[in-house]
Structure 1
Amino acid sequence: MLLSRSRTLLSLFLLLVSTALFAADKHYSVTSPDGVSLAVQESGDPDGSPIIFIHGLLGSHLNWEKQWQDPQLQHHRLIAFDLRGHGLSGKPQQEEAYRDGKLWAQDLAAVIAGSHARKPLLVGWSLGGAVITNYLAVYGDSQIGGALYVGGVVELTPQLIPAHAGVYQDMTAEDLKTHLDGERAFLRLCFYQQPDSVMFERLLANAAIASWPMQRAVPSMSIQLEQGLKNVKVPLLFIYGEHDALVQPKASLARALSINPQIRTQVYSQSGHAPFIEKSVRFNRDLEEFADSLPLQHWVK
């Protein structure tokens, strides 16, 4: 009990210190090649090794609250951005602005360049994993230190994506009540262990401001899986929850490993599609260990 209390006090102390040192979060925007404004947020140590967080469908940078608040991660430079069609970023009204995976790859490249992040570790949740894959297919891995997929979408195929036809149909309905009920149902599917009401309501608000054309277009978004994963030399880690209801963990891992057998994998028990929220303590520890395992020269300025 004494040891547990000491650890709790140490964590509180680190949180207070990190808050004092890095309380002033940084907010700015970068512009993608096709003109979409991307909202970027930073926290942590501005001189620390950079980690770029990429949220999933219907999310925003707010998805990473449990990582932003973890005192153990504060010595890293924490960077997040809102994907096109989400959060505070631009929301093109044409579905064509969302179908080509290369456009999403260009967004990530713009954030890397605009933030001046040297060899960042990329962390992509769900759709964010597909964004990383497309980035690797277009730009290769020379500008990054590694990538962590969490609940990552590997391919948008029936073999890897469970059918929730009614939910996805409601999400793109023109009737507002049906649309919002679809958003709520989708968010419930993200979790095996449901979040508290405050977090869920915030995530639902995130979903409500996401672009409708984007939601209609994303199911047909292109993912260059073979080109993205085949020749990657930097470390890759794939983490899934065993009870993921939105992607097939075993099939997704098998497909990714068939292209790149060097991928490291972990499956969390008692977790669904969002292990970084449902099992945040374990995830943050695994993230920290993975970041620290990357070659030191990746962080040298």
Structure 2
Amino acid sequence: MTKTVKNVTSSDGLKIYADSNGNAGKTSIVFIHGFRLTGAVFDRIFEDPEFTSKFHLIRYDLRGQGRSGVPENAEGHVSKLYADDFVAVCEAFEIKKPYTVGWSYGCTVLSDVMTHLPPDYLSGSIYLGGPPFLGEDLAKIVTTECLAVLPLLMSTTCTSAEYEDALTRFSEGLYSTPKDVPIETKWLWRGMMSSAPPASYGYALQRKVDPSALFAIGKKGYPLHVIAGADEALLDGVKLVALLKPEFTKLTWHYVEKGGHSVFHQNVQETIDSITKFVDENRWTGVAE
């Protein structure tokens, strides 16, 4: 894969790491990673020769995580800055009306984008098992295991043993069958989870995300596609779809029978096929349908 790397400057001066497959001129898809991880989790998708030849693929590390800069306080995690980061990445790679693929926490960024950018900025979006919001509403769609472990991952009072146990439980929950995942992958992803100070992850998880603008445009015909593993440990895909149905007139979904939370990693081809079909068949013009 040809990789073009850029350290993009956002509106507040923070540096945002981003890279692309260099396939400029093709339909653009921006990938946004999950909590405590980085864009590197999408390596298997970005290394697929057929998929990469068809699309211009871009990914970036969210602020306060991975290889991007770390804001020093909660003010560095307000919704508009997440939207500004997205714009900065799009402008750096000179892309217009991209599609987005958000995984887990990364899905929340679509709400930021729709709140602060024009309604026709995007062409469509894919959720890889993720929420449109944060906060107490997460209880509507995430599992009891996820609800139990998240507070520990941003706690400043738990013991180091409790923190490491929570990180292990969260890491194992990313896969439907952890024993089948190569240890090199587990080590790589676990390393990503410690790339920023613990406080940074707390700010990211506690920030306010308002999905009302997203839901409003969803009712006008904005296309959203959900890909979720049926063998999930962290989020209930069926509940997610049920929550989104009243908000989107053009909602489609695909359940991967033996897919876990990182369905795109363990079920690469099925995920790629589902993304490709959606992008080929849907393009939002900004006009209500």
What TM-score do the two structures reach when normalised by structure 2? 0.87
Deviation of 1:176 (Å)? 4.6
- Is the contact made by 1:38 and 1:89 (CA closer than 8 Å) also made in structure 2? yes
* 2:170 is aligned with 1:181: no
* 2:177 is aligned with 1:193: yes
Distance in 2 of aligned mates of 1:229 and 1:110: 24
Partner SS for 2:127:
strand
Partner SS for 1:65:
helix
Q: How does 1:69-88 map onto structure 2 within 5 Å?
A: 69-75=47-53, 76-88=55-67
Deviation of 1:235 (Å)? 2.2
Q: How does 1:10-29 map onto structure 2 within 5 Å?
A: 23-29=1-7
Deviation of 1:257 (Å)? 1.4
Partner SS for 2:254:
strand
* RMSD value, Cα: 2.2
Q: Deviations over 1:122-174 (max 9, x none)?
A: 11001111111221122143122211111111333222233345522432345
Deviation of 1:26 (Å)? 0.7
Q: How does 1:108-257 map onto structure 2 within 5 Å?
A: 108-156=86-134, 157=137, 158-164=139-145, 166-174=148-156, 175-194=159-178, 195-232=181-218, 233-257=221-245
Distance in 2 of aligned mates of 1:160 and 1:86: 24
Partner of 1:94: 73
Q: Residue type of the partner of 2:141?
A: L
Partner of 1:274: 262
- Is the contact made by 2:18 and 2:58 (CA closer than 8 Å) also made in structure 1? yes
Q: How does 1:48-59 map onto structure 2 within 5 Å?
A: 48-59=26-37
How many residue pairs get matched? Answer: 275
Partner of 2:40: 62
- Is the contact made by 1:138 and 1:228 (CA closer than 8 Å) also made in structure 2? no
Q: Deviations over 1:57-79 (max 9, x none)?
A: 01111110111111111221111
Q: Residue type of the partner of 1:97?
A: G
Unaligned runs of 5+ in 1: 1-22
Deviation of 1:178 (Å)? 4.1
Q: Residue type of the partner of 1:202?
A: L
- Is the contact made by 1:133 and 1:225 (CA closer than 8 Å) also made in structure 2? yes
Distance in 1 of aligned mates of 2:34 and 2:17: 15
Report the CA distance shift for 1:213/1:221 in structure 2 as closer, same or farther (over 3 A).
same
Q: Percent identity?
A: 21
Report the CA distance shift for 1:297/1:137 in structure 2 as closer, same or farther (over 3 A).
closer
Q: Deviations over 1:32-76 (max 9, x none)?
A: 212221001111522322111100101111110111111111221
Unaligned runs of 5+ in 2: none
Partner SS for 2:193:
helix
Partner SS for 1:254:
helix
What TM-score do the two structures reach when normalised by structure 1? 0.84
Runs of 4+ in 1 over 6 A off after TM superposition: none
Deviation of 1:91 (Å)? 0.8
Distance in 2 of aligned mates of 1:211 and 1:140: 34
Report the CA distance shift for 1:173/1:226 in structure 2 as closer, same or farther (over 3 A).
closer
Q: Residue type of the partner of 2:61?
A: D
Distance in 2 of aligned mates of 1:58 and 1:209: 8
- Is the contact made by 2:82 and 2:109 (CA closer than 8 Å) also made in structure 1? yes
